[in-house]
A and B are shown apart, each in its own frame.
Chain A
């Protein structure tokens, strides 16, 4: 799925036959960026007294910006999946987003020994 290493971060996907490499690339990289948001930033905060959303604006609801995103690369497993579809293709939609937060949580576990099971992962979860 996603891993960091000396050569930057790779998102690795089994997407079957890639029909449009440019489109797949932007989708896959977008998924990694979105996943960084899920893992570390995005949080809808409700006021526990009345249920109102207290960060209902883009100044307080944080999404990743360029400065938050390292070099990322998308790579695909070889092969076509004729079982899934006669064209050999598979979906490459939201799935690109899904593995990123667990990968980052695993990295946090690897670095700190702490299993964080709530997203986003905030500093106080590691105190």
Chain B
């Protein structure tokens, strides 16, 4: 692991300030710490946002649901409103990881996970996502669980989140807070297709913070079958 500094922030202003100077946000740490141990992620500064007040699930004026970025995946899955209004979210979350991880991992962190492509996680392999221009070892290598749709010649990896699929299907919106204020983007535009820049995975600008994921009201029935 490479050396890094660690700061715990207590309000969003402080967080954004640290983020603007290149700090990487960390909450549950279940994905970032793994990647740091493998030296795939090498942040100079970690900004612990787990104390920020972004941990509530609330019903919106339009009858949708707003899940704070720091709600743990266990809490989100078990929340009565999530269970009754959007069972697909509960089901997707409960298929993910293990109970211990779900108790730590947050909704914001879940959608910021990086691919499980074995070559991305092997620092000796060629990977355009980890090291742009080095090539893609997966295209001719082991790619049984890789993407079929939305790929490019530079990258065939998939996003590892189960609940991301549910968010996309439910036409969720990601709420962001940055140095220039708040903005919202459709979930489908939040995660980027690899194209010729597979190292760019999401639409976050430097220092921007995910504050919540909002799911619009959906008419019942909720099952496709």
Contact = CB atoms under 8 A, between A and B. Distances in A.
Interface residues of A, number: 11
Contacts, number: 20
A60 B116 CA distance: 8
Question: Which bracket fits the contact residues of B?
Answer: 10 to 19
B140 A49 contact: yes
A26 interface: no
Contacts of A47: 137, 141-142
Nearest to B143: A54
Contact of A49 (B98, B116, B122, B141): B141
Contacts of B98: 65
Main secondary structure of the interface of B (DSSP, over half): loop
Nearest to B124: A52
Contacts of B140: 49
Question: Chain A interface secondary structure, helix, strand, loop or mixed?
Answer: loop
A54 B142 contact: yes
Contacts of B121: 57
Would you list the 4 A-B pairs with minimal beta carbon distance, nearest first?
A54-B118, A54-B142, A47-B141, A45-B142
Given A45-B142, A65-B98, 18 more contacts: A47-B137, A47-B141, A47-B142, A48-B141, A49-B140, A49-B141, A52-B122, A54-B118, A54-B119, A54-B122, A54-B141, A54-B142, A55-B118, A55-B142, A57-B121, A59-B116, A60-B116, A60-B118
Interface of B: 98, 116, 118-119, 121-122, 137, 140-142
